[in-house]
């Protein structure tokens, strides 16, 4: 679905060496360099420059690396979604999962579902949870993914023309390093956050 030269390019960029990338990919350094040269010729840009320390990415190379990591992962996830769709039957519910939208809560409820819908089974479909993907998935529920668990508000539901059901209400929580002074506290008062820098999702982030 994408050029394998991108995999080679990513490996060279990660290891900072054509020879090390060749060892990792089980091909010759010459083959790695040929792939890189061909990719540079196709794109009409220089991706690496030689330095006293070895090779380094150019500005164009750094830009391509960021996009290539996303492209290759998205393509792999697309294949997984296609395979899940191929296995789809009327007795399967496909649940979208990602690091920020785990399916553990829904999985714990599956026993109760089995009593109501005997024979029903679940398929977990991984996806990369970016705002663009979230909008695409929520706007096309029922095609590759049927259910996604996560935070929700009315604007998300309205803009994506989907429905939401509250499964649980949980307290607001903060993630922080173990050695943070506040990490030992069971509960926080808003005043405890005075002078602290926190990151929160903006309204309509997934809409």
Question: What are the tens digits of pLDDT across the range 96-124?
Answer: 888 777 666 666 666 666 667 666 777 77
Q: How far apart are CA 114 and CA 151, in angstroms?
A: 25
Q: What pLDDT, on a 0 to 100 scale, did the predictor assign at position 207?
A: 45
Confirm if 137 and 131 have CB atoms less than 8 A apart.
no
What is the full DSSP assignment across 102-171?
A: -SHHHHHTHHHHHHHSTT-EEEEEE----HHHHHHHHHTTTTS-SEE-S---HHHHHHHT----------
Q: What pLDDT, on a 0 to 100 scale, did the predictor assign at position 43?
A: 92
Q: What pLDDT, on a 0 to 100 scale, did the predictor assign at position 77?
A: 79
Q: How far apart are CA 39 and CA 46, in angstroms?
A: 9
Neighbours of 137 (CB within 10 A): 23
Residue 16 C-alpha from the chain's centroid? 25
Q: Which residues neighbour 134 within 8 Å (Cβ) at sequence distance 6 or greater?
A: 148, 206
Q: What pLDDT, on a 0 to 100 scale, did the predictor assign at position 188?
A: 85
Q: What is the mean pLDDT of the chain?
A: 80
Structure tokens at 19: 């020879």
Q: What pLDDT, on a 0 to 100 scale, did the predictor assign at position 189?
A: 84
Q: What pLDDT, on a 0 to 100 scale, did the predictor assign at position 21?
A: 92
Q: What pLDDT, on a 0 to 100 scale, did the predictor assign at position 89?
A: 53
Strands 54-57 and 48-51: antiparallel
How many residues are there in the chain? 207
Q: How far apart are CA 160 and CA 132, in angstroms?
A: 12
pTM above 0.75, yes or no: no
Confirm if 57 and 47 have CB atoms less than 8 A apart.
yes
Residues of the chain short of pLDDT 70, as ranges, are 1, 84-91, 102-115, 117-119, 201-207
């Amino acid at each position: 679905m994408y050029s394998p030269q991108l995999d080679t390019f990513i490996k060279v960029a990660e290891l900072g060496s054509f020879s090390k990338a060749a060892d990792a990919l089980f091909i010759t350094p010459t083959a790695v360099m040929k792939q890189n040269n061909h990719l540079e010729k196709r794109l009409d840009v220089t991706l690496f420059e030689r330095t006293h320390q070895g090779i380094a990415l150019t500005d164009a190379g750094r830009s391509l690396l960021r996009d290539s990591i996303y492209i290759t992962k998205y393509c792999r996830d697309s294949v997984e979604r296609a395979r899940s769709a191929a296995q789809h039957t009327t007795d399967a519910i496909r649940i979208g999962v990602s690091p920020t939208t785990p399916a553990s809560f829904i999985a714990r409820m599956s026993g109760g579902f089995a009593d109501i819908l005997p024979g029903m089974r679940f398929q977990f479909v991984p996806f990369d949870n970016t705002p663009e993907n979230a909008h695409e998935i929520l706007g096309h529920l029922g095609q590759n993914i049927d259910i996604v668990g996560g935070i929700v508000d009315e604007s998300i539901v309205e803009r994506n023309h989907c429905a939401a059901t509250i499964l649980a209400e949980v307290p607001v929580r903060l993630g922080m390093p173990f050695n943070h002074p506040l990490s030992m506290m069971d509960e926080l008062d808003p005043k405890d956050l005075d002078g602290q820098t926190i990151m929160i999702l903006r309204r309509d982030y997934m809409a």
